[in-house]
Amino acid sequence: MSDIQSLVSQQLEALLENENNTVSNLSNAAALIFQNYENINWAGFYIYNTETQVLDLGPFQGKVACMHIQPGTGVVGAAFAHKKSMMVPNVHEFTGHIACDADSNAELVIPIYKNERVYGVIDIDSPELDRFTEIDKNEVEELAQVLAQHI
Ligand code: SME
């Protein structure tokens, strides 16, 4: 990918070069995100299950989390259903927020597009209110584009 700008995207691209095992790649991507962003308590994936039509928990770092999320429910389900990135400064003010980890106060959810559909989402939680910035959003959108080449 020629237009990669952030260091973390370059790291992900290097990590996944010539790798095509989806579980392995999502696992290392979750670890990379968890290590690279300060003050976060959860980073991972929800993957759309085309048979059951729900989002299933994918590889992640952090505390045990909800196994299934309905499209349209919570921040994850909203980002999936509306096909758009969601940056929520205070999850307690988000109607329908799903509290998997009581430590989470802010959340960033980015759709991963693959073959013109939403494959799943990247979900990052922080204990800090208003933790995420436009720069973070742009960076994680870039990570989603890199990942889409390796899943
Ligand atoms: N809080 C999310 C659920 C997933 S956990 O944060 C890992 C939501 O409202 O969709």
Q: Which residue do the tokens 């308590």 mark?
A: 41
Instruction: Give the max Cα distance, the chain.
Output: 42
pLDDT cut 90: percent of the chain above it: 90
**CATH superfamily placement of domain 26-148:** GAF domain (3.30.450.40)
State the closest ligand 1 atom to the C-alpha of 94, by its place in the atom list counted from 1.
9
- pLDDT(4) > 80: no
**Cα distance between residue 118 and residue 42, in whole Å:** 21
Q: Which of 66, 88, 97 to mutate to test the pocket of ligand 1 (most atoms within 8 A of CB)?
A: 66
Residue-wise pLDDT tens digits, 108-127: 999 999 998 999 999 999 99
Domain extents for the chain? 26-148
Residue 91 has what DSSP assignment?
A: G
Q: Which of 68, 97, 124, 132 to mutate to test the pocket of ligand 1 (most atoms within 8 A of CB)?
A: 97
**Cα distance between residue 80 and residue 1, in whole Å:** 24
- Which residue minimizes the CA distance to atom 6 of ligand 1? 100
pTM above 0.75, yes or no: yes
